[in-house]
Structure 1
């Protein structure tokens, strides 16, 4: 049954500001925290005190200061082992899991094959994997309250439901409710690309940015945006979906039902289908198609060129609309990035408007455990009141 999510760790705005900054960029002195948050030094000290008392923060030894500069300062740092978080990434063939500390450092990983993608089987396997991870180290079980889960598709984070996942063939699955019943943990469910974006914004390439975007290339083409320091969801929870921008109205049919979406042209499946059709070789694999392109096969090279152009146009649309400081390109498809990188860059340069074209695109290969880390980062967010959903299933 539905129960309220456990109370967030912090409730006052000052505590939220101090802890979130230390998570991403600590250790920092109280003076620097005051400068960065806009709080007074007294407010910083007051906000930090309960977090120190609860073991989430601690003081480092005094830093030496220049002669005449005043007494030494004790920087504040996060105690990463104070609490642990489980992150799961559920795909159509496997469930990947990670135990992460308070700063999203990966402490243990595990994976299980998923031969049957029905929600009941996936939830049972996920619960077994959680148990395996919690038993990896003696302290994990006692210090873990939160589980984050990342899945493909349209996810309602507030209710913990997967409204639709094309890759998993799920519709209206109450995933948080099912996993809380089987694990006893407080569960937060998020779209996988958004979860990965949270991890990169808080703990990776996006640290310190107010405007940030991540685009993934693989079985699907996904993206997520950070605007004013917050993940952008939009009124219906699907904002920033570059994979479903139309770049060719006469193009192939997308699994969403529309024609000419970026994903319908640039996903690994779309590239593979295009080459299979031209060569009349229905059993080609994606790796074989990539090798053909590297060897100069015209149809394979054309498929990657068209995919790269579609991705570049899609990214330029994101950049023109939102103006991020940085765009990270990732996903399993980046293994073939050499085949369409030039086409992405050329299309991006042609379509990005004015000064927006100065936004750099950076390639960041992220293995599956990093996607599980993204799910754990979403669970870490549940410590903060603005992210703790009021209707997400909780353990207490």
Structure 2
């Protein structure tokens, strides 16, 4: 039985951060293995782990391995207690809020959708309050053990202040979303760019576990990208690092909304693909599902649209691989199902291999669609990171 009166664990040293992160993302793991991977002494690992055990975040499992050859002393692996704390994550789109409750291991335990009557910031804050109330009301444990809310928003986000500088799909400029959401929900709020939030989830709990450098590319209304180097999310001086959507790969055209020409987003973003498919097939009312169906049925014009999009994506990803050398690149997003990925994949991989330099071509490419619930999970993963900065002292 968890003792809810116990305070939250406190991160006060790099050793504590290293130990807790390793158990959280790669556990169960023994102290000996933690010491081996981190370079800390066994005594330092034990000292760092003790507060988390006492606060109920970590547990010692039954001894299942030995610390040395022969008759070495059995080791008791450390594991996270997932239900010690819960976290809310919400993905904000121009049409709805998608919310989840996750445990400490970022496993989704509850989810809900809530339509947005408008994208006015005050309306969004009010709907966030209603959504979080719904989700937390589903279990006394959620309400008692949830303190943090993560929000994922497209566009230029200042995570440190919770300010959304610019979100084109929400038509927002300089919106203090963190402040508004905190006032509406009473929770500690962290706001992050949606692609970066999804990358945090993949780095800690998904395809990026065990890698020190990887990248996530998303296909949707725009082309998003976030990069992890040396186990750190790269933000750049102004928070816009990794924007491969605006890498020019298409010569002088087509024009992009950013003002440039030939950007990846202007060729491979969903609006660009749909526009090109309508022109190629001569059907002004064609839907994206219709374009995918035509291409899967073998229509050469429709297939060429997806081939061009895949080629543009592969070239941009190769440029990124040449620059930072990630161990793997995960391609995700909100295209409608695996069918669209199948139409892109061959051309994406081929152009990537052709353009990547030397060993960069060995980078593992993983194509996997993600529903919006996973983007909300990314927002919750960002909230989980607040364990490192919002501890009671």
Normalization by structure 2: what TM-score? 0.94
Matched, 1:48 2:45: no
- Residue 72 of structure 1 is matched in structure 2 by 74
Runs of 4 or more above 6 Å deviation: none
What is the match of residue 59 of structure 2? 58
Post-superposition offset of 1:67: 8.7
Asked if 1 retains the 8 angstrom alpha-carbon contact of 2:244 and 2:316, the reply is yes
Query: d(CA) in 1 for partners of 2:92 and 2:273?
Result: 24
* Structure-2 residue corresponding to 1:205: 207
| Residue pair 2:217, 2:226 contacting (<8 A) in 1 also | yes
> Secondary structure of 1:382's match?
helix
The answer as to whether partners of 2:10 and 2:51 remain within 8 angstroms in 1 is no
Distance 1:122 1:253 in 2: 32
Partner of 2:330: 328
Relative to structure 1, is the Cα distance of residues 8 and 177 closer, same or farther in structure 2, using a 3 angstrom cutoff? Answer: farther
Deviation of residue 298 (structure 1)?
A: 3.1
Matched, 1:96 2:107: no
Tell me the distance in 1 between the aligned counterparts of 2:42 and 2:370.
39
Q: Aligned pair count?
A: 384
With 292-301 and 262-271 compared, the bigger mean Cα shift is at 292-301
Counterpart Cα distance in 2 of 1:188 and 1:365: 25
1:270-315 CA distances to partner (integer Å, 9 max, x unpaired)? 0111122344432111001111112232332221111111101111
Greater RCO, 1 or 2 (C-alpha within 8 Å, sep 6+): 1
Match in the other structure for 1:391: none
| Correspondence for 1:356 | 360
Sort the Cα spacing of 1:276 and 1:320 in 2 relative to 1 into closer, same or farther, 3 A. Answer: same
Q: Name which of 143, 146, 165 aligns with 1:144.
A: 146
- Superposition deviation, residue 8 in structure 1: 8.2
Distance 1:115 1:305, change over 3 A: farther
Deviation at 1:62, TM superposition (A): 2.1
Structure 1 counterpart of 2:15:
14
**Any conservation in 1 of the 2:9–2:52 contact (CA below 8 Å)?**
no
1:104-159 deviation line (CA, Å, top 9, x unaligned): 11111111122422222222112111111111111111111110000111111111
Q: Secondary structure at the match of 1:383?
A: helix
Match in the other structure for 2:383 = 379
**Deviation for aligned residue 1:249:** 3.7
Separation in 1, partners of 2:358, 2:72 = 48
Q: Structure 1 pair 8/214, CA: closer, same or farther in 2 (3 Å)?
A: farther
Alignment-derived partner of residue 33 in structure 1: 34
Alpha-carbon RMSD across the aligned residues, in angstroms, is: 2.0
2: CA distance between counterparts of 1:209 and 1:9?
A: 26
1:243 corresponds to which of 245, 248, 251:
245
Distance between the aligned counterparts of 1:301 and 1:8, measured in 2? 54
Q: Deviations over 1:28-79 (max 9, x none)?
A: 1111111111111111111111111111111112225499423322111111
SS at match of 1:136: coil
Contact 2:9–2:55 (CA<8 Å) still a contact in 1? no
- Partners of 1:8 and 1:299 lie apart in 2 by 58
Corresponding residue number in structure 2 for 1:346: 350
Distance 1:127 1:102 in 2: 22
2 CA distance for matches of 1:164 and 1:201? Answer: 26
Closer, same or farther in 2 for the Cα pair 1:8/1:120, shift >3 Å? farther
User: Which residue of 2 is the match for residue 366 of structure 1?
Assistant: 370
Mark the runs of 5 or more structure 2 residues left unpaired by the alignment. Answer: 1-6
Whether the 8 Å contact between 2:281 and 2:302 is mirrored in structure 1 is no
Q: Is the 8 A contact 2:156 2:240 kept in 1?
A: yes
For residue 169 of structure 1, what is the aligned residue in structure 2?
A: 171
| TM-score using structure 1 length | 0.93
Distance 1:42 1:8 in 2: 19
- Taking the aligned partners of 2:198 and 2:16, their CA distance within structure 1 comes to 25
Indicate how the Cα distance of structure 1 residues 80 and 123 shifts in structure 2: closer, same or farther if over 3 A, else same: same
**Relative to structure 1, is the Cα distance of residues 186 and 395 closer, same or farther in structure 2, using a 3 angstrom cutoff?**
farther
The separation in 1 between residues aligned to 2:173 and 2:126, in whole angstroms, is 18
Distance 1:101 1:194 in 2: 20
Q: Contact 1:185–1:395 (CA<8 Å) still a contact in 2?
A: no
